[in-house]
Amino acid sequence: MAKKSNSSFIEWGLVASLFFLIILVPVVQAKVPRPEDFLGFKIGADRKLADMHQIIDYFKLLDKTSKRVVVKEVGRTTMDNPFIVAIITSEENHKNLDLYQSWQQKLADPRQTAEEEAQKIIKKGKAVVMINCSIHATEIGASQMSLELAYKLACQNDPETKAILANVILLLVPMHNPDGIQMVVDWYRQYVGTKYEGCPLPWLYHPYVGHDNNRDWYMFTQQESRLTVQKIHNVWHPQIVVDMHQMGQNGARLFVPPYVDPYEPNVDPIIRQEVAMMGTFIATELTAQGKAGVMHSHRFDAWTPARAYHHYHGAIRILTEAASAKVATPVNIPFDELEPEVREPSVKMPLPWKGGRWTLRYIVDYDFAAAWAALKNAALIREHWLRNFYLIHLKAVKRKESPFAFVIPAEQEDQVAMARMIQTLQIGLVEVHQAQESFEADGALFPAGSYLIYLAQPYGGYAKALLERQKYPEIREYPGGPLKSPYDVVAHTLPLLMGVEVVEIKRPFSVKANLVPQVPLPQGKIQTHPQARYYAWGAKGNEGFIVLNELVSKYECYWLAEPVSNGQQRLPVGTMLVRTKEGLENNLLELTRRYPIEFQPVNDIHGGQVYALHPVRLGVYKSWTASMDEGWLRWVLEQFNFTYLSLKDKDIRRGQLEDKVDVLIIPDMREKEITEGRPEGSLPREYTGGIGEIGLRNLRSFVKNGGMLITINSACHLPVNKFFLPVKDVGQEIPRQEFFIPGSILAALVNKNHPLAYGYDGETALMFRRSPVFQLGEGESILTYPANNPLLSGWINGEKYLFGRSALAEVPYGEGRIIL
């Protein structure tokens, strides 16, 4: 009996123990894996890279094994890959993320928050830091570093790590351009161990825009820009954004702010001082660790929102630029090959680097140290960051300075462009009102329906930066010396870029107006008529070309070359027409559901001159030197439903281009890049050589036989020089010290009689960025610079060289034409 009882006790104990273990199993987490155990190599090891899939999989594993890490897929990239952000903070903070997020919103808009509540939030809230890695995919070090940073935050328990986790919510974007990371890693791996190891990628590392994805922070054309802004920044309102890049090999080992002058004038002075404070804190931390070659106050400015959305939304942008290796291949840099400025100690860099071996691991170490220093600073003075964040926005909503507002009149020639411009501003959280009645402001009358942007709002400075005309200051190399040219594009005036009338209002005014959460595009519509012989659309704006490209292969389409009367209306030059045919009206009705186009019936064009329109076989030259302009060109063509054929060097060399295309576009590239391409030995042979002399002969033959060649910006030098056109680019002959325009908006007079100018008024705006200035011996100018200073927005040196010269021209060549 006793034996049986003992056995029962043991059995019961075993069952109880197993039950207890079963209860415990779900809450015992697996050990957080080290990156090197997951990957099979140490982060930053020579010739080793984690690709997009490995990075995403590792972060998903952290999400499963650490209560400090939550990974969210906020959307899909251009190539339909996951775009992820890792939210890293203490387990306790994760339980209250919604609360902290709501507090961030309240500090970002002080109109929602009483002063007493704001002070409580500042006491209890968390500093939010966003770290954006490797927006430029060839600058790959930060994407690799992100795994190490996430791992250490996920598992370390030292006091400093715990303080960061307790006081900071980190939004870690391990790859801003996942598509590009995969391209770069695949390309690098393919040639490791060969003479081409570390050679440049022969195509863009973003499907469309390449390096220019870091110029999209105010137009938001690309998927990754929109996801970052709409799904991360605008949701969390970070105080600190660290944007991690790489630069050339022969300068400093790491750049951090302060930036050089000038700052864009709408950036709050508090932001400017905080940038300097954080930058020098990071530099001090790295220098204390013995990391040589850390430099600030060098080259990089903070002029444009195209790179710094954050500066206008209460956050500092800390740009880091690490010196590059050869992707993951080490380089050796002798001291005497370093740039002279970095060889000696200076106030900008007190601890110079002495040259030698430089590796991906060094980049990872410097990036990690910079990221950690930013997190440490955020944790140490958390309340400082929250208080100043609140104060910046409080100043914004209490703004009293002139101007008071911007008015966008309801009556616009291009209603679609107006709506798209306002939508772009609204992506950036700009508040837009619509007048419910007519009103007067600064002595001018405006109709009901006009849109109003009051500047006393949280992001009024951002709106002002994008709506006003820029006046880049004159900065000289030294007192009385030559002008110092800007680092980058200096004009970003949306109304000029998009063709929208906007009026700056200096004095306060009153009008009944409603807040408009989302300005819609105009509704498409069709006015049918049983006797219509044509339907007309699209004299103004670009939207009409989308519809034309859907109709031209199915119906007879025309382009008005002179104005004609249509009942009480007058159809202007450039109006598009489609001849009626059975089923057309239903097709047009379907198009109005998809596009903001208005079709109106036309009974007769009274013998007016028209051009018959036909589908065009369009070719785009695609060089192995990876032109960003080529990518942008493809993107624009696709937005407007143009089909095109990409032609590579071998296609141009093969000839018989007229059998493939009617029109060939060569994007902005230097003449030598087109003709010679990459030098032999720099890449595998199939990616070198350019179009060569035989390609030039084929281009000449194509145009002589009736083809059209369109060349953009620097590519214009190819036909000018190699086709021996009676045209000269006068800018090529003038020293940069006398004539230079880095990226400004200029005025040009329009030749309205030329078909390429149909729909334009007598004057328009154009972006000039190191562009040619034509003196024509033959041909027709389509856009001509006026005889006085054409600067509308930005900076110009040597405007006299533009006076009366051509910006856009058509030159005959044999039976064909060249557009310059």
Instruction: Assess contact for 299 and 338: CB atoms under 8 A.
Output: no
Residue 441 has pLDDT above 60, yes or no: yes
Checking DSSP bridges between strand 663-666 and strand 727-729, what pairing results, if any?
unpaired
Nearest to 622 by CA among 633, 611, 608: 633
Beta strands in 702-805 (DSSP E): 708-711, 727-729, 744-750, 763-768, 774-776, 780-784, 791-793
* CATH classification of the domain holding 802: 3.40.50.880
Whole-angstrom Cα distance, residue 314 to residue 131? 16
Based on the fold, state whether residues 273 and 235 are members of the same structural domain.
yes
Instruction: Assess contact for 122 and 386: CB atoms under 8 A.
Output: yes
Give pLDDT, residue 25. 39
Residue 540 has pLDDT above 90, yes or no: no
Residue 10 has pLDDT above 60, yes or no: no
How many residues are recorded in the chain?
820
Whole-angstrom Cα distance, residue 235 to residue 513? 27
Residue 724 has pLDDT above 70, yes or no: yes
Query: What percent of the chain has pLDDT above 90?
Result: 92
Give pLDDT, residue 147. 99
Whole-angstrom Cα distance, residue 30 to residue 778? 76
Give pLDDT, residue 485. 86
Residue 18 has pLDDT above 50, yes or no: no
Q: Mean of the pLDDT values across residues 308-314?
A: 98
Based on the fold, state whether residues 417 and 284 are members of the same structural domain.
no
Let me know if residue 357 belongs to a domain: yes
Based on the fold, state whether residues 343 and 491 are members of the same structural domain.
no
Based on the fold, state whether residues 805 and 668 are members of the same structural domain.
yes
Instruction: Assess contact for 667 and 714: CB atoms under 8 A.
Output: no
Let me know if residue 522 belongs to a domain: no
Q: Mean of the pLDDT values across residues 329-350?
A: 98
594-642 tens-digit pLDDT: 999 999 999 988 888 999 999 999 999 999 999 999 999 999 999 999 9
Residue 679 has pLDDT above 60, yes or no: yes
Let me know if residue 186 belongs to a domain: yes
Taking all residues of the chain, what is their mean pLDDT, rounded to a whole number? 95
Based on the fold, state whether residues 609 and 629 are members of the same structural domain.
no
Residue 4 has pLDDT above 90, yes or no: no
- Alpha-carbon distances, residue 429 vs 111, 632, 658, 818 (angstroms): 15, 26, 49, 44
Based on the fold, state whether residues 585 and 732 are members of the same structural domain.
no
Which residue is listed with tokens 């938001």?
220
Q: Which of 426-430, 497-501, 608-612, 779-783 has the lowest mean pLDDT?
A: 608-612
Q: Retrieve residue 538's tokens.
A: 């699209």
Whole-angstrom Cα distance, residue 101 to residue 93? 11
| Residue type (1 letter), 373 | A
387-406 tens-digit pLDDT: 999 999 999 999 999 999 99
- Alpha-carbon distances, residue 351 vs 260, 275, 284, 362, 377 (angstroms): 20, 21, 10, 16, 22
Give pLDDT, residue 95. 98
Based on the fold, state whether residues 631 and 608 are members of the same structural domain.
no
Q: Mean of the pLDDT values across residues 764-790?
A: 97
Let me know if residue 87 belongs to a domain: yes
364-381 tens-digit pLDDT: 999 999 999 999 999 999
Residue 153 has pLDDT above 50, yes or no: yes
Residues 323, 329, 335: CA angle, nearest 5 degrees: 50
Residue 24 has pLDDT above 70, yes or no: no
Let me know if residue 26 belongs to a domain: no
Whole-angstrom Cα distance, residue 592 to residue 522? 10
Give the torsion through C-alpha atoms of 29, 34, 38, 43, to 10 deg. 160
Residues 238, 239, 240: CA angle, nearest 5 degrees: 95
Give pLDDT, residue 8. 38
Residue 583 has pLDDT above 60, yes or no: yes
Boundary of a domain, candidates 334, 367, 396: 396
Let me know if residue 10 belongs to a domain: no
Based on the fold, state whether residues 605 and 622 are members of the same structural domain.
no
pLDDT-derived band at 477 (thresholds 50, 70, 90) equals: confident
Boundary of a domain, candidates 489, 515, 541: 515
Residue 7 has pLDDT above 70, yes or no: no
Based on the fold, state whether residues 600 and 661 are members of the same structural domain.
no
| Residue type (1 letter), 695 | G
Give pLDDT, residue 29. 52
Let me know if residue 22 belongs to a domain: no
Instruction: Assess contact for 418 and 408: CB atoms under 8 A.
Output: yes
The residue segments making up the domain with residue 774 are 618-819
Nearest to 307 by CA among 216, 222, 374: 216
- Alpha-carbon distances, residue 204 vs 183, 212, 637 (angstroms): 9, 10, 17
Q: Give 330-387 as a DSSP string.
A: -EEE-GGGS-GGGSS--SS-SS----EEE-HHHHHHHHHHHHHHHHHHHHHTHHHHHH
| Residue type (1 letter), 585 | E
- Three-state secondary-structure class, residue 783: strand
Q: Which of 477-491, 653-667, 759-773 has the lowest mean pLDDT?
A: 477-491
Based on the fold, state whether residues 179 and 156 are members of the same structural domain.
yes
The number of distinct structural domains making up the chain is 4
Let me know if residue 766 belongs to a domain: yes
Based on the fold, state whether residues 363 and 415 are members of the same structural domain.
no
Based on the fold, state whether residues 608 and 638 are members of the same structural domain.
no
Boundary of a domain, candidates 554, 584, 613: 613
